[in-house]
Amino acid sequence: MRVLGIEGTAWCASAALYDAEADSVLIESDPYEPDSGGIHPREAAEHMSEAIPEVVDRVLTAAEAEYGPNAVDAVAFSRGPGLGPCLRIVGTAARSLAGTLDVPLVGVNHMVAHLEIGRHRSGFENPVCLNASGANAHLLGYHDGRYRVLGETMDAGVGNAIDKFTRHVGWSHPGGPKVEAAAKEFAADASEAGGGGSEAAAELLDLPYVVKGMDFSFSGISSATNDAADEGVDVERICFSLQEHVFAMLAEVSERALSLTGADELVLGGGVAQNDRLREMLAVMCEARGADFFAPEPRFLRDNAGMIAVLGAKMAAAGDTLPVAESAVDPNFRPDQVPVTWRAGESV
Ligand code: ATP
């Protein structure tokens, strides 16, 4: 089976072809990069309307060159969650392509796709998943035919919380990679000045650390980091402290999720998962409790159509396709709304 995937929930216009037999994924992406500030929904939608036809065309041309005129067996698209104006463009493109190619249409939940790509690439049987993305942050675990939300942010997504600080100090979007670079710089400088060791930790700012049971909150830390910048605290020190606090919160809740479910596998998903420090903290936590940890390669972590095509193929194989009349997008589509049809034959 070969599935054409289309992604466009917010900033990344992307198309992919997944060949299930070869387990190969071709991804073509075109990101929206705002001139200043964060993601503007109208500008993002304008970007989608220009970029989606181009990335789809690139993938279809490559697919037809390799496999001939019947290269695509199904079209999968991200149905939500995401920005409504962007999702509607993706939905329209997917419906019209499925009609033109005369193949089934598959509606994929974007957050379940972030999880399933980790499960697919790792070969893990029944992991807990930490989705650390821009607009979301939650722990998912599989139980009785659904992915259950075990814990989640009570306010902002983790990437959005980090980007809020970088916007405040005037850095361009996306802020996450810049915070990571500044934090690394701070740790290296502190270590050099102190002759090695954990000197940076001694300089950690005391920021709000809010974990309530399985849920967590980032709004207090966003205000505190912005205030610290206004008071003239060194920006690299703030970046270092921001990362240490936010990622420790995510690691704490991930560990609790493993403990509560009895799972011994953790997969990581979402754009923030590209961060070395987050992966390091989770790997250390997993090793300490004898659990396996896996984060897919970066092209499958940030928003991408590869993960949509891979999950789309599993859904199509399970007969989980959509009539056009029932294929409306859903900006608030939660992962626990999805009946997990494609795991029916599995033992867990
Ligand atoms: P969602 O998947 O919830 O819809 P999204 O559409 O914003 O989120 P993602 O690609 O999952 O997209 O994540 C983008 C976020 O990842 C941005 O907030 C960005 O700052 C953050 N990010 C990217 N690279 C890094 C990094 N190295 N460290 C920390 N954050 C990062």
Ligand 1, atom 10, residue with closest C-alpha: 302
Distance, CA of 321 to chain centre: 23
Task: Give the Cα separation of 22 and 304 in Å (integer).
Answer: 19
User: Which domains, and CATH codes, for the chain?
Assistant: 2-114+303-343 (3.30.420.40), 126-299 (3.30.420.40)
pLDDT band for 199, please (50, 70, 90 cuts).
confident
Q: What percent of the chain stands above pLDDT 90?
A: 91
**pLDDT tens per residue across span 31-44:** 998 888 888 999 99
**pLDDT tens per residue across span 61-117:** 999 999 999 999 999 999 999 999 999 999 999 999 999 999 999 999 999 999 999
Q: CA separation (Å) from 13 to 2, 23, 87, 204, 271? A: 20, 22, 11, 38, 15
Ligand 1, atom 18, residue with closest C-alpha: 159
Q: Is the CB of 31 under 6 A from ligand 1?
A: no
Q: ipTM for the complex?
A: 0.98
Cβ atoms of 79 and 109 within 8 Å: the answer is yes
pLDDT band for 347, please (50, 70, 90 cuts).
low
Task: Give the Cα separation of 100 and 291 in Å (integer).
Answer: 46
Q: Is the CB of 136 under 6 A from ligand 1?
A: yes
Whole-number pLDDT of residue 228: 98
How far away, in angstroms, is 133 Cα from ligand 1 center?
A: 5
What letter would DSSP give residue 198?
S
Task: Give the Cα separation of 72 and 136 in Å (integer).
Answer: 31
Q: Is the CB of 133 under 6 A from ligand 1?
A: yes
Distance, CA of 160 to chain centre: 12
Q: Is the CB of 215 under 6 A from ligand 1?
A: no
pLDDT band for 348, please (50, 70, 90 cuts).
low
Q: Is the CB of 8 under 6 A from ligand 1?
A: no
Cβ atoms of 115 and 131 within 8 Å: the answer is yes
How far away, in angstroms, is 299 Cα from ligand 1 center?
A: 12
